[in-house]
Amino acid sequence: MWSGVGKLKCWVNRLLGDVGVVFYLSIFLIVAFLTVAAVDPDETQRLAQKALNATTSNFGWLYLLTSSGFVLFTLGLAFSRFGIIRLGLDDEPPEFSFSSWLAMIFSGGMGVGLVFWGVAEPILHLSSPPLGIGAPGSVEAAQTGMRYAFFHWGLHQWANFTVVGLAIAYVRFRHNSRGLISETFRPLLGDRVDGGWGNAIDILAVLSTIFGVATTLGLGALQINSGLSRLSGMPYGITPQLLIIAGLGSLFILSAMTPLNRGIRYLSNANMVLAAGLLLFVLMLGPTAFIFSELTQTMGEYVGNIIQMSLVTTPYSSAHWVQEWTIFYWAWGLSWAPFVGSFIARISQGRTIREFVLGVMIVPVLLSMLWFSTFGGSAIYFELFENAGIAAAVAQEVPAGLYAMLDQLPGGFYAAIVAVLLVSMFVVTSADSATFVLGMFTSKGVLNPTRFVRILWGVLQLLMAGVLLLSGGLLGLRTISIVTAFPFMLLMVLMAYSLYRDLSLEWQRRQKNDNLLHERIESMLLRESEREAARQAEENAHPSAPEPTEDADVGEAVEHEEGEKIRN
């Protein structure tokens, strides 16, 4: 009997690897939520909406201040004295090439969101102007909408990922610690991160991650369903969307069974090639001059108005535009931060802090701006100057805007096929990356969780996305993102402080070691200069000078006595 129990225990250990409290408690909480939401999705949506109203009404300002603070914090680190610190050994080269690194960052980051909102957001702002600026359908509404699209996909969004990614990469590769969120709090909590406090932090990170990724899977399913509906006549509704999620799930579970440097890496590179091809197609066959003019003007407006846009709260109005858009985006980014940040940290070994911040924040932001100018700008052009009916298509079905815009271009039918394929690949890449990160969080930070653990988290992501769609579709996805992101946002503030404190301590140790080395070198040089002076003195002595003798010394003493007597 005991032999059978021992064999079962060994089999479970091989299947799960080194898991503990975080794994089992996270699974329990997620399964409990899935059960309640599946049994009564309407009540789940009602409670989530109630929590959303309370969060945005009382703490909406905190989302804005925190996200803006992260932008200043990360850029400040990059251009400070800490920027030269390497995430790894001082002479360690990067693990991945720069192009592959950027491709994985972009694909694992917001690829699905860019495709989903690239046309939809500017057109929705055109129809319902942000903060009531301009009349619906006017040029002023169009330009304001593009400016806010740049803002929502700009520095603030990627600063969230940068804070978490940098904190984890620093403790993982600089201090050789476990790749866990809780490890970033060791400068503040000390050994308490190895107990209940650390477990609570990691469980919160797991919950935030799975809700954030489920939101993205849901958006991807909506976008794919819309495309297939236009291409093949498939009905647009919850049943096809659930089937799409199941189909994509089988693909990313297969990808999850391959090593990181093969599955995700190759998928990410393929995503970038496909996305670049679709971007060039619209850029060349669309209103090219208008796109670049829109890009140039909106970049200027974004830079000139970024402070004002960052802090708008509309306290004198009952409108909920800021809550529905800006706070949703910041909350979505915050809920994605543990996943995207951990994944970026995993692939950034050997980068300096300055290289990490600029690579994660600046390059993706510039690509996002080009994407929105190309797709959103083209959609606005066709809507304003050719009455293409894109706004009507978006009003009826939000993800349909992309395909309505592509219909205005020659070969738009085939471009729509590429778009559906691109979204599918982005979903697979993001979900695959998330299974890896969730497995790492719940396996005590190991860099390569077991296949079973990754597959288990993949299945739970699918179930969560399906339940959220059942609980309100796009509105349900938005609601749950904002609510679940709030507690992790508070943790991120402490994480940023802990990272700065850790960097300061390392810099002090580095300065102390540098001073000690400098003193030793000076000491060595001083002793060497003394020996050199002695050698010089010996070489300068005349070689024919007679050696002093005993008689000469006596004579000199007698002469000295006689001289003294005469003077006296």
Q: What is the pLDDT of residue 212?
A: 79
Q: Which amino acid is at 77?
A: L
- Segment 38-59 mean pLDDT: 80
pLDDT at residue 74 is higher than 60: yes
pLDDT at residue 300 is higher than 80: yes
Summarize pLDDT for 273-285 with one digit per residue, the tens: 888 899 999 999 9
The angle that helices 139-152 and 288-310 make with each other, rounded to 10 degrees, is 70
Q: What is the pLDDT of residue 261?
A: 53
Q: What is the pLDDT of residue 558?
A: 46
pLDDT at residue 552 is higher than 60: no
pLDDT at residue 248 is higher than 90: no
- Segment 96-106 mean pLDDT: 77
Summarize pLDDT for 143-180 with one digit per residue, the tens: 999 999 999 999 998 999 999 999 999 998 888 888 78
Q: What is the pLDDT of residue 567?
A: 47
Q: What is the pLDDT of residue 476?
A: 65
pLDDT > 70: what percent of the chain? 86
Summarize pLDDT for 478-499 with one digit per residue, the tens: 677 677 778 889 999 999 999 9
Q: What is the pLDDT of residue 3?
A: 60
- pLDDT confidence bin for 5, thresholds 50/70/90: low
Comparing 9 with 68, the larger pLDDT belongs to 68
CA-based nearest residue to 218, from 552, 463, 415, 554: 463
- pLDDT confidence bin for 554, thresholds 50/70/90: very low
Length of the chain: 568
Q: What is the 3-state secondary structure (H, E, C) of 446-488?
A: CCCCCHHHHHHHHHHHHHHHHHHHHCCHHHHHHHHHHHHHHHH
Least confident span in 63-72, 374-383, 530-539 = 530-539
Q: Which amino acid is at 122?
A: P
Q: What is the pLDDT of residue 529?
A: 66
Summarize pLDDT for 458-475 with one digit per residue, the tens: 889 888 888 888 876 656
Residue with tokens 């778009």: 419
Summarize pLDDT for 24-36 with one digit per residue, the tens: 999 999 999 888 8
pLDDT at residue 77 is higher than 50: yes
CA-based nearest residue to 174, from 364, 356, 441: 356
**Average pLDDT score, the chain:** 83
164-173, 441-450, 527-536, 552-561, range with greatest mean pLDDT: 164-173
Dihedral sign, Cα of residue 77, residue 80, residue 82, residue 84: positive
